Structures are given as C-alpha cells and as structure tokens.
Structure 1
C-alpha cells in the first residue's frame, strides 16, 4: 500500500498532525470544507477588516505550539511576550516578576495594588494547598468548591480566580473542573516567570500557524484541499476512501480532526464507532462571543489586555498594541450567560457602556463593530467529564482535537498536542507494518 494518510479538518489539531507526518515524509492529504484555514481559530474578513473569530492567548508553558511555530518557519515576532499581568481598571494590578517560582508570584503579589493582605495571603494559600497535593484534587471538585475549601476572599475570587478560570476553561466556576484548573495553574503560575508569560498573537489566527503549516506541507509534497467537504469515510479493501475526495484515493490511515460536533457523523459513517460517536456527541459545549469595537486611532487601553469586572465581557484586548488597527478593541465574553438573550445591537451597546463604566471615561461611538459568536467554541470543562482518546475501534482510524482526553482544557496548545500525539501513533502503526 501507499502509506498515504488523510486528515479531515485543517484546524490547529489537523495541521499539527499533518506537519509531524510530513516531517517524516509520510504522504499526507488534508481536507477542509472551508476556504479559510484554522478551524475554530481562524481569520474572518468583514467590511475590509480582518479579525479573528475569537481572541486567543497562549502562555509560555505551551511549548508544543511554540515548537511548531519554529518548525514551520514562523517568526518569533508574531507573538508578543508579556509578563503575566492582571489589570482591572479601578480594581487591581498584579504583575509577575522575572524570578524563579514561587518568587515571581510572591514578589508580584507584594507589589500588587488593589489587593488587601487577606487577598494576597489567600492567593498564596491556594497555591500552597495545590503544591502540597502535587496539584491533584478530588476529580469531582468544582473550582467554586476549591475556592471555598481554601477560604479565598470574595474580592480575590472576583478579580483573579473567576476571570482566570473562565478564560482558561471557558466554563463558569460553579461548573468548572478544579483538577483541570489546577493543571493550568501548575504549568503557569507555579512554574516560573517564563512559563506564565502571556503570548498574544500579533497576526491573525490563520497567519499564526495554519498558513506557515500549509507552506511547510507544500514543500514536502503534502496536499491541502480546501473547499472540499468529506461527507463519509468508507472502509474498503486495503484501507479507506472518502466521500468527497475528488481523487478517490486509497488511504491507509485516516485522522478525523474536525470539531467534535462534526466528528460523530464521520465516525458513524465508518462503522463500528456508534458508542464513540455517541460519547462525542454528548460532550457539553460552551460558547465564546467576541465584540469588536473600532473606536478610533486616539483610543487605547492602559495595558494590552485588561480584565473587566462588571460583565458581560470579562476581558478586553487592545489590538492596536499587537500590530492591529489602532483603536480596535476586542471584548471577550466566555461561556454562557444572560448576554445570549440580547440582540446584536443591544449587546454592542451593553459592552460599549461597560467599557465606558470600567474605564471611567466617555468613548466615541464605534466607527465599525462586529459581534462573532462561536456557539460551540469549546467543551464545557466539568468535573468527571469523560473525554475520548485518539484511538477508535477501527484500526487505522484516529481522532485529533482539543476535546480529547488531556490535562488541559480546550486551548490551541491542547489542539496541537493532540495532533502531535496522533501523528506519533500513526507513525508507529505505519512502521509496524514495514515502513
């Protein structure tokens, strides 16, 4: 057989898998129904503006993402490296310092403004609680319960823990998994200043990794078929064929790297995957809404990223400070909430008023605005949630995606790690049959 591998989905997981396979000279073809690369982390062109379908950040601990950026020839300048900075206008300012853990956080806490000594001690108490337990907690524990058991002050929870939880897990603290949150804290706040650095893209999410990955594939004879929907996977003698593949090629291995709400139907079409497809279809989902406000070149935020305490938005990003248009502010609303009942116009007015209130200044009316909602942006990261692994009941048929079982919630890092892990499994399978 040819040893050819098909990857369905050109998001971060699928492209990470393709890059790793192409690096080993495996013939790989990536299918993507859209004409835009990136999946749920992609650029959107609207009215002459190029914006992301959602605001993503990475942290220094996300090593696989940065490794793949280097591997595919991406410039290190595409990521802005910022020290961990939590700034809420009129509320608090906390910035980690470039020292080994735990001094980077301890000194940052000592210098913080807007936090009482009870708040500072509460933060240290939570980190000490987790360190003592090697960052392992009751699998059924929620973040809300974790904060209660470590006696976190309400002020600290509102300004630090709740925004961090919803940003990382995209799940409200009352429902969010304390274990996954502990994993994120272990690899960020507890791991040193470089690991907790914020890495914010200066380019759109399609240019960040998908476009360099596509170029990487092209020079290694990999194929990328955009605008090509795969409707079904058919098992045939010697491997698989895909309904929708214009070449009708025989593939020895197939990787389903779509969003989970598309994966179930593809698995079901292959046969013998009904239970797995049902498990994936049952994964609860959470939305993310990003409100873009172009407020004019004279408008900027005090910091590239600020917290918003009054709702509905939890964070605001000054895209002008990351190489984007001056005055373009991206306000992020993670997880479900009352804002979902608002019309687009009312949501724009509400977020604009929230910015004015929290910045304590009048803002001009937007020159341009846009609301983008990913209704199923991530899985709801709840305690005890059963997430599938990369292997399916069908030999040669694999999964890749940010929803698969891992230490992390649904992030760009978990997506690329999943793609890399699945590629390693495919390579082992190919080598076991004589390649």
Structure 2
C-alpha cells in the first residue's frame, strides 16, 4: 500500500487522513501545533473550553456529516439543528423569518408568508430571487459581485439589509459589494434551493476540536496510521521517486519521533496547511503563484460572560450591523442553550471584521456589549463579568468574483494540496475544507 503523509492537522488535513485510513492506507498526519483543528479549534479562556471562533454549519454539508459518522459521532449528539431562520430582536426594526418543517419548497413559501417585519414588496422580491435563480439553474455566464446580482434581481433595500447582506457576509466572509455572486448562488442552491433539511442551521454543542479533529485522530490511529502533533515540517524533499520530510533546525535533538520522520519516505504528500505555508513548502517543486495571490479576510468572535441566570429567548439572534454607530455584531449566540455549563456566556460574531478591529480589542468588546444592551433592551448586558475577543486575521480568503483558486493537483506527481481555498463550489467553510481533504485523499489513493 502507498504510504501517504498529510502535513497540517486542520479540518482539511484531518478529513484527508480519515479518508485514507478508511481506505486502509497507512497515513501519517503532521501538525505543528500541540492540538489539531487549525483555524477551527478549541482554545481555553478563563478556564473554559471554547472555540477560536463561533461556527455555524448547514444541513447541506454532506461530506462533513458523513465524516462525523465515519469517526463514530451521531450528528444529533454534537450539533443543535435549527430550521433556517433570520430572527432579529423584537422592536429593533428587523424581521422574524423561520422556515417550518415542511418539504421543499413549501418550507420556504410558508416561512415567507408567515414572516413578520417584511413588507409585501420584500416578500415578492424574495420569491422572485428564488424563482429566477432556479430558472437560471443557479449559474451565471459571467461572475459579478453579490450587490450587482441583487440589483439585477430587483431586491429591495430592506431585504438586502435584513437577509441577503448578513447571509453573504456569514457564508463568504466578504462584503456583498466585493463578494462572488456565483459562489453565493452555489451556497443558496445547496441550501435554500435544495431539500428542507439541507437548509437547516447546525450549531456545535461541543468545542470544535471535540467535534471532529480529536475523533479523526483516534480513527486514524485505530486504523494503523500515525498522528504527530508538535512537529513542524519545514521542507519537502524529493528522494528517488519518493518524498522525505525535513523539520529543519527544529529537528536537531528533538527526539526519536523526529528522527523516525526524517528517515521515513512517502509515496505521496498532501499539503493541508494554510495557503501561505503551502507556498513555502511547495517552493522549488510546483508553481505557487495561485497560493500567494490570495487576499484574506478576518473574522472576530467576542465572548462575553454574564451571571448564569442571564439567558436569551433563543439560541441565535441576527443583529443589524452598522459600523457608523458602533454596531459591529452580526449574530449573537447564547452558549447556554448549547451547553448548560456555559450558562450566561454569549458569543457575538463579526465577519469581515477588518474595520471593526481597527481601534483595538478593548474598544470592540465594549462596543459589542453596548450594542447588545441597546438592541436587546437589557441594560445589564453592557457590563459583562469578563469579555474576550478572538480575531483570526486570515480566517478565510476574500471570495471575490472570478477568483482563480488552486487545484488539489500541483502538477507534480505525488504532491497534492488540500484546504478550504482550493478550487470548488463553496467559499472557505468547514465543508469546503472537508471536501478538499477527501478529494486530495482520493487523488493520492488513485495516483
């Protein structure tokens, strides 16, 4: 059997390792950090196991759900499943839209008829978007920005503000005026335009490391593979038709594990690191221009701890973001609905957060707390017991129109790429990372 090395223990690398192990292939997974998960992992804050960013998945994430099952997890045990919804706090000029549990497309139609806060012209515009997109088979001849697409479909300003803009920023982490309309349509096709369950919103009940990476590592080792954390690979070296891994200066005196790695050879290597790290590893072997040309967008999550009796009416509220008045938050999650031990903990997501973090973490934390107090009409939320901001500066690539993303294949036999930035239908999401990892594993097995 081919020996395969996977460099990078994020979700793409873990997915590749699980898929190879499932096929009975000996795989070695290398992660420079002490813990797996990459940009979607557990961190410890004030004695709590939280995530480096609040995530939400979709029922359309078929590969992610399949791999959770492969490693022995029931999705109902680790994910809270909610119907597609966009629910703003009452009295703030938002809307209340929830899809009922009916077969598609009736769930969308009935949800639209029942929606509060949308005028007749807003509802007609939403129906027109769905009908026209289906007629177009969710495809554009020439990509454009999401804002241009919404103008073509005559979407109302209110519907753009309350639904399309927050959905675009949440899904693509790119503002609609700069975001790819085709990628946005791909997401809408597989959620709004598919079966009802595909549009469901899935919120992790457990930390992200426990959700998949930890179980992936156990699965790989049960199937004869090896998982090495805390070992950073600095170079990939061609060796008589095979590949060796070099840890550079860190290798000297670092123990038996590193010595074993340096002497091992592999038939294929899957580079599942970030794009800029992959460019460094592949330098001298393959073309890296498509990796170094990607721009990136940050995502920031603000965690605010209140007394345990503080509770929101529902697990998730949408928020109207307006940077001009310091309202940066776009969604607020009540973690107490997900885990009783996290009662009183709120997580506020600020996607595409470059402008929001310009004045520093303390200023943004204070602004988010003030926003919650105002829009939820609860003055006590302005004064949390503690707050912590986590900002991933390169959380995702900027998903712009016509972007040429790198292929899983590097053009060099035995060298493959995996990551949420590789070519595919989806933006930089957990599902995109998992799909890329599985695709790279399939290519390694077949090559």
Following superposition, the deviation at residue 113 of structure 1 comes to 0.7
Aligned to 1:329: 346
Verify: 1:108 aligned to 2:111, yes or no. Answer: yes
Aligned to 2:161: 158
User: Closer, same or farther in 2 for the Cα pair 1:176/1:138, shift >3 Å?
Assistant: farther
Aligned to 2:324: none
Residue pairs, 1:32-431, within 5 angstroms: 32-76=31-75, 77-90=77-90, 91-244=94-247, 245-247=258-260, 248=262, 249-268=264-283, 271-273=284-286, 275=287, 277-310=288-321, 311-323=327-339, 325-364=342-381, 365-429=383-447
User: Closer, same or farther in 2 for the Cα pair 1:89/1:138, shift >3 Å?
Assistant: farther
Following superposition, the deviation at residue 337 of structure 1 comes to 4.0
Any idea what SS the aligned residue of 1:45 has? Answer: strand
Rounded to whole Å, the distance in 1 between the matches of 2:180 and 2:2 is: 40
Rounded to whole Å, the distance in 1 between the matches of 2:296 and 2:344 is: 32
Any idea what SS the aligned residue of 1:242 has? Answer: strand
Question: Are the counterparts in 1 of residues 59 and 197 from structure 2 also a CA contact under 8 Å?
Answer: yes
Rounded to whole Å, the distance in 1 between the matches of 2:154 and 2:45 is: 47
Rounded to whole Å, the distance in 2 between the matches of 1:408 and 1:117 is: 32
Question: Are the counterparts in 1 of residues 300 and 353 from structure 2 also a CA contact under 8 Å?
Answer: no
Rounded to whole Å, the distance in 1 between the matches of 2:142 and 2:428 is: 18
Any idea what SS the aligned residue of 1:228 has? Answer: coil
Deviation digits for residues 235-259 of structure 1 (CA, Å, limit 9, x no counterpart): 1113011112431211110000001
Rounded to whole Å, the distance in 1 between the matches of 2:55 and 2:350 is: 12
Following superposition, the deviation at residue 3 of structure 1 comes to 2.0
Question: Are the counterparts in 1 of residues 297 and 354 from structure 2 also a CA contact under 8 Å?
Answer: no
Rounded to whole Å, the distance in 1 between the matches of 2:361 and 2:58 is: 31
Rounded to whole Å, the distance in 2 between the matches of 1:11 and 1:176 is: 25
Rounded to whole Å, the distance in 1 between the matches of 2:145 and 2:212 is: 33
Any idea what SS the aligned residue of 1:175 has? Answer: coil
Question: Are the counterparts in 2 of residues 406 and 414 from structure 1 also a CA contact under 8 Å?
Answer: yes
Rounded to whole Å, the distance in 1 between the matches of 2:307 and 2:48 is: 14
Following superposition, the deviation at residue 47 of structure 1 comes to 2.3
Deviation digits for residues 152-207 of structure 1 (CA, Å, limit 9, x no counterpart): 11111101000000000000000000100001011001113211011111000000
Any idea what SS the aligned residue of 2:210 has? Answer: helix
Following superposition, the deviation at residue 363 of structure 1 comes to 2.1
Query: What count of residue pairs does the alignment treat as equivalent?
Result: 424
Question: Are the counterparts in 1 of residues 2 and 445 from structure 2 also a CA contact under 8 Å?
Answer: no
Structure 1 unaligned residues grouped into runs of 5+ = 430-435
Give runs of ≥4 in structure 1 deviating > 3 Å.
Answer: none
Any idea what SS the aligned residue of 1:393 has? Answer: coil
Following superposition, the deviation at residue 284 of structure 1 comes to 0.9
Rounded to whole Å, the distance in 2 between the matches of 1:35 and 1:333 is: 27
Following superposition, the deviation at residue 56 of structure 1 comes to 1.2
Rounded to whole Å, the distance in 2 between the matches of 1:13 and 1:134 is: 29
Following superposition, the deviation at residue 343 of structure 1 comes to 1.7
Rounded to whole Å, the distance in 2 between the matches of 1:42 and 1:65 is: 15
Rounded to whole Å, the distance in 1 between the matches of 2:422 and 2:198 is: 23
Aligned to 1:432: none
> TM-score if structure 1 supplies the norm length?
0.95
CA root-mean-square deviation: 1.2
Question: Are the counterparts in 2 of residues 177 and 383 from structure 1 also a CA contact under 8 Å?
Answer: yes
> Which deviates more from structure 2 when the two are superposed, residues 177-186 or residues 300-309?
300-309
> Which deviates more from structure 2 when the two are superposed, residues 242-251 or residues 414-423?
242-251
Rounded to whole Å, the distance in 2 between the matches of 1:336 and 1:179 is: 23
Any idea what SS the aligned residue of 1:338 has? Answer: coil
